[in-house]
């Protein structure tokens, strides 16, 4: 099974788009997305220096646009992707690219959202000098204790041996003077303490804008940064992306879900390297592909062909699917068991694992057509549980 992932802020480097823009088709697509974002992404991806593209309001649109343009290089026709990609995920701002790839939102909507996200987060970051530092190695409990001692947040949990601390520059300086045992600290090229309470002012701005965005339920399983769950409601995908601005990224849980899904190949969109590096350490046996330059596109297509299979999520114009958000045991709701019609938001059941219990609801409601699992069945992330037929559609 193939999973495609999109990187987050900090993965950019000066001139990384130069080889891509030698192709007129790629250049034209990026110019179009530049127009939507009201930024000269061609300039920023080729001629701007490291300090300039470190700025939040520039880095974020640049990264999302790059993922979107590169995806069209692998899958010129979106339907090709739906027959190959089992799941998508994005790290932090990469979630907007993943949402567009799954057809939750359009590329243009993604660029408007990321433009405003970058501006709002830059404004929030300007209120207090903050930053982020990767803590590499060390005992996990020792690392988390050190962060708590210095008032820092574990803003990114990227799996074994990599937690990203975020907070004020004074707090990060205190951590540098008193690091966890056997850990190495690496300051990140970002302009603020993303995914912490410092970003709360940006959430309100994006939430208001997101309410006006039309969405579709994803055609491919979307794995959420918040908790690694598969989300199959378009509105919920966007809501989670907005909330994630001020909440920690649990990439470790995202990778757990990928493994639960049975991933065999993971391809990272450009500027690739960060997420494939993490995967090689945390997802043993999974083949990875870091797409960095357009001369790799033929090899990337071959990689997708070898690992690709359609997502377990199937959609048609008149059917609604309720899917499992995670791995665990499905417990059917007693009222849903007997219902012929489920209203919007009705309880369907819950998925329980050793870690937690997640309620499942009928987001859209509809006539019960077919239960695809029984009470007590083991289910995997994204597995269809129930088919519904929207009321009023013949």
Same domain, 205 and 272: yes
Whether pLDDT at 38 is above 60: yes
* pLDDT for position 82: 79
Whether pLDDT at 197 is above 60: yes
User: What's the pLDDT tens digit per position in 238-293?
Assistant: 999 999 999 999 999 999 999 999 999 999 999 999 999 999 999 999 999 999 99
Same domain, 55 and 26: yes
In this structure, the number of other CB atoms found within 10 A of the CB of residue 285 comes to 7
Residue 261 belongs to a domain: yes
Whether pLDDT at 394 is above 50: no
* pLDDT for position 373: 96
Q: Give the CATH number for residue 338.
A: 2.40.50.100
Same domain, 166 and 56: no
Whether pLDDT at 393 is above 60: no
Whether pLDDT at 370 is above 70: yes
Tell me which of 232 and 160 has the higher pLDDT.
232
180: enclosing H helix or E strand = none
Same domain, 217 and 285: yes
Residue 138 belongs to a domain: yes
Same domain, 162 and 295: no
Same domain, 241 and 300: yes
Domain of 172 in residue numbering reads as 125-187
User: What's the pLDDT tens digit per position in 5-20?
Assistant: 999 988 999 999 999 9
Q: Give the CATH number for residue 70.
A: 3.40.366.10
* pLDDT for position 310: 77
> Mean pLDDT throughout 24-41?
95
Tell me which of 312 and 182 has the higher pLDDT.
182
Whether pLDDT at 315 is above 60: no
Residue 394 belongs to a domain: no
Task: Supply 378's token pair.
Answer: 């083991």
Residue 181 belongs to a domain: yes
Whether pLDDT at 318 is above 60: no
In this structure, the number of other CB atoms found within 10 A of the CB of residue 355 comes to 13
- In this prediction, residue 304 has a pLDDT band, given cuts at 50, 70 and 90, of very high
Residue 38 CB-density burial (10 A; 0-12 exposed, 13-18 middle, 19+ buried): exposed
Same domain, 87 and 134: no
DSSP secondary-structure letter at 319?
A: B
185: enclosing H helix or E strand = strand 183-187
Residue 192 belongs to a domain: no
Same domain, 7 and 119: yes
- Mean of all residue pLDDT scores within the chain: 93
Catalytic residues: 92, 195
Q: Give the CATH number for residue 148.
A: 3.30.70.250
In this structure, the number of other CB atoms found within 10 A of the CB of residue 328 comes to 21
Same domain, 99 and 132: no
Total domain count, the chain? 3
Same domain, 215 and 296: yes
Q: Pick from 154, 169, 187: which residue ends a domain?
A: 187
Residue 350 belongs to a domain: yes
Same domain, 172 and 203: no
Q: Pick from 139, 155, 187: which residue ends a domain?
A: 187
* pLDDT for position 392: 57
Residue 89 belongs to a domain: yes
> Mean pLDDT throughout 98-120?
96
Residue 314 belongs to a domain: no
> Mean pLDDT throughout 42-51?
95
Same domain, 144 and 234: no
Residue 292 CB-density burial (10 A; 0-12 exposed, 13-18 middle, 19+ buried): middle
Q: Pick from 187, 205, 223: which residue ends a domain?
A: 187
- In this prediction, residue 76 has a pLDDT band, given cuts at 50, 70 and 90, of confident
> Mean pLDDT throughout 23-49?
95
């Amino acid at each position: 099974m193939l999973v495609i992932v999109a990187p987050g802020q900090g993965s950019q480097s000066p001139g990384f788009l130069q080889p891509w823009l030698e192709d007129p088709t790629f250049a034209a697509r990026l110019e179009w997305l530049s127009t939507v974002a009201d930024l000269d992404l061609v300039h920023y991806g080729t001629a701007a220096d490291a300090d300039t593209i470190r700025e939040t309001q520039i880095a974020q649109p640049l990264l999302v646009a790059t993922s979107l343009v590169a995806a069209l290089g692998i899958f010129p026709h979106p339907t090709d992707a739906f027959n190959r990609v089992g799941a998508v995920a994005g790290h932090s701002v990469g979630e907007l690219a993943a949402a567009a790839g799954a057809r939750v939102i359009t590329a243009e909507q993604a660029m408007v959202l990321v433009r405003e996200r970058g501006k709002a987060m830059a404004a929030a970051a300007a209120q207090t000098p903050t930053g982020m530092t990767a803590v590499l190695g060390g005992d996990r409990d020792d690392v988390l204790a050190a962060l708590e001692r210095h008032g820092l947040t574990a803003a990114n949990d990227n799996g074994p041996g990599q937690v990203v601390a975020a907070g004020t520059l004074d707090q990060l300086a205190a951590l540098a003077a008193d690091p966890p045992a056997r850990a190495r600290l690496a300051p990140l090229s970002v302009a603020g303490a993303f995914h912490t309470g410092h970003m709360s002012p940006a959430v309100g701005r994006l939430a208001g804008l997101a309410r006006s965005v039309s969405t579709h339920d994803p055609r491919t399983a979307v794995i959420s940064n918040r908790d690694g769950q598969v989300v199959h409601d378009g509105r919920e995908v966007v809501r989670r992306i907005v909330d994630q601005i001020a909440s920690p990224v649990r990439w470790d849980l995202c990778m757990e879900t990928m493994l639960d899904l049975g991933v065999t190949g993971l391809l990272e969109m450009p500027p690739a390297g960060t997420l494939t590096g993490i995967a090689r350490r945390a997802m043993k046996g999974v083949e990875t592909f870091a797409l960095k330059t357009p001369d790799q596109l033929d090899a990337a297509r071959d990689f997708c062909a070898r690992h690709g299979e359609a997502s377990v999520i199937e959609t048609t114009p008149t059917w609604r699917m309720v899917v499992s958000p995670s791995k665990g045991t499905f417990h059917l709701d007693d009222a849903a068991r007997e219902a012929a019609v489920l209203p919007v938001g009705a309880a369907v059941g819950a998925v329980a694992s050793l870690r937690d219990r997640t309620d499942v609801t009928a987001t859209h409601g509809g006539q019960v057509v077919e239960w695809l699992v029984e009470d007590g069945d083991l289910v995997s992330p994204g597995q269809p549980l129930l088919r519904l037929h929207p009321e009023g559609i013949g």
